[in-house]
Chain A
Amino acid sequence: MALSKPYLDVPGTTIFDADQSRKGYHLNQFCMSLMKAENRARFKADERAYLDEWPMTEEQKLAVLARDLNWCMRLGGNIYFLAKIGATDGLSFQQMAGSMTGMTEAQYRDMMIKGGRSIEGNRVVGEDGDAQAHRQPQGRA
């Protein structure tokens, strides 16, 4: 019997569960390696060569090179691990989070200052909130 996953109908959200973790193991461990300054330097010097040292899928490597965090998450990435790429690039967590929303950095910051994204319409897939796929330029999460 399949495990119950009651969180699959939360819009714009990928829950990092055991299946995602299995898919993303090498992607996330690559991210973890960026905790060391010498690895950050090697990665920045030749990103493709550094990624090729890891048994990641080609698509995972392309998603990292594109810095598309939504794509990385679909392939098993977890945001706390992916954040190491952002730190390597000198980005703040807010810049990283904002990059997944289809907003500019300034738009996202303003939304947070005004109290954040509203829960209304964003609880369940199929409502009409601003995190729903039909209102997102990048489509589904």
Chain B
Amino acid sequence: MARITASVYTSHVPAIGAAIDHGKTAEPYWVPLFKGYEFSKQWMKDNRPDVILLVYNDHATAFSLEMIPTFAIGCAAEFRPADEGYGARPVPTVIGHPELASHIAQSVIQDDFDLTIVNKMDVDHGLTVPLSLMCGQPPATDFRWPCPVIPFAVNVVQYPVPSGRRCFMLGQAIRRAVESYDEPLSVQIWGTGGMSHQLQGPRAGLINAEWDNRFLDRLIADPEGLSKVPHIEYVREAGSEGIELVMWLIARGAMADVAGGAKPTVRHRFFHVPASNTAVGHLILENNA
């Protein structure tokens, strides 16, 4: 059977993608940020999964106001990097895993989560920036991501976004779905977005490092309790866009300890302010079950 080997959590700030794409990673502003991911890139090489289920949000790119799915799973064979108004990022096309994605869709929907199935979609920085941070820029001679990726988009643009509780339970359903897949694939689940940031209004630029670090502590040690934090606390304490952090609870819910297994190993933890308007947080948790 397939199994979830690890979960990865990271912010997906678009300016990080722009810094990589325009060769600015060695500039003093960006050095501390990319230093925090050096371990992670090596870890990815040493622990390459067969598939990544990447939880992210679309930023008015593939989904306009015509359709706003709360949870959408990408079942296509491939997904192109989107033109978000500055031209598409020069990164590889994302190769999907239609068989596992369809299996997860069928299993999770029967487990009471009404996913939207998407068979055609471009992917924006929410998905490609985490891949760049964790995998680096693939060389021109072998221009591809290290493995197939299943995009899993969550609405965090139009309020209300799904609750932390709902996200945490969805992660548990995803774990059950993966473990009922016959082929022995190793699967990583990534939760992306956050941490504290606000991109709008006179309060733009808000950062709450203390709250962010408490979130990281609780995500590791008390995800169940953390999942009960209401929306208003994210908005008030971590900024209107800090609410993206509910997506981390999907990845955390898929870890074995939530279902009575062993506690995960914290392989890496990193926090940095700022990347553009945003506090950057990053965790790698390995399953021990």
List chain A positions with a Cβ less than 8 A from chain B. Answer: 6-7, 10-18, 21, 25, 28-29, 31-32, 34-35, 37, 40, 69-70, 73, 78-81, 83-84, 87-88, 92-94, 96-98, 100-102, 108, 111-113, 115-117, 119, 122-124, 131, 133, 136, 138, 141
Contacts and interface: CB of A to CB of B under 8 A. Distances in A.
Nearest to A123: B236
* The 9 A-B residue pairs with the shortest CB-CB distance in the complex, in nearest-first order: A116-B207, A87-B85, A12-B203, A12-B202, A131-B203, A80-B60, A117-B205, A79-B200, A141-B201
Nearest to A40: B85
B141 interface: no
A29 B64 contact: yes
A113 B237 CA distance: 20
Nearest to A14: B201
A115 B205 CA distance: 9
A86 to B, nearest CB: 8
18 contacts: A7-B232, A10-B203, A10-B236, A11-B202, A13-B240, A18-B158, A69-B200, A78-B158, A79-B241, A80-B59, A88-B85, A92-B15, A97-B204, A115-B207, A116-B207, A116-B274, A117-B203, A117-B204
A93 B15 contact: yes
Interface in B30-66: 59-61, 64-66
Contact of B235 (A15, A31, A88): A15
Nearest to B204: A97
Contacts of A29: 64-66
A115 B209 contact: yes
Interface of B: 14-15, 18, 29, 59-61, 64-66, 83-86, 157-160, 196, 198-209, 211, 231-232, 235-237, 240-241, 273-274, 276-277, 279
Contact of B199 (A35, A79, A84): A79
A63 to B, nearest CB: 14
Contacts of B66: 29
Given A101-B202, A112-B205, A17 B59 contact: no
A104 B204 CA distance: 13
A96 B205 CA distance: 11
A118 B28 CA distance: 24
B277 A15 contact: no
A138 B199 CA distance: 17
A115 B200 contact: no
B93 to A, nearest CB: 19
Q: Which one of B18, B86, B232 has the highest number of Cβ atoms from chain A below 10 Å of its Cβ?
A: B232
A17 B206 contact: no
A112 B157 contact: no
A120 to B, nearest CB: 10
Contacts of A15: 159, 235, 240
A98 B85 contact: no
A7 to B, nearest CB: 5
Nearest to A103: B205
Contacts of B29: 113
B158 A16 contact: yes
Contacts of B200: 13-14, 69, 73, 79, 97, 100
Q: Which one of A10, A81, A84, A101 has the highest number of Cβ atoms from chain B below 10 Å of its Cβ?
A: A10
A123 B235 CA distance: 9
A54 to B, nearest CB: 13
Given A102-B202, A111-B205, A119-B237, 7 more contacts: A7-B235, A7-B236, A79-B200, A81-B65, A88-B85, A92-B276, A116-B274
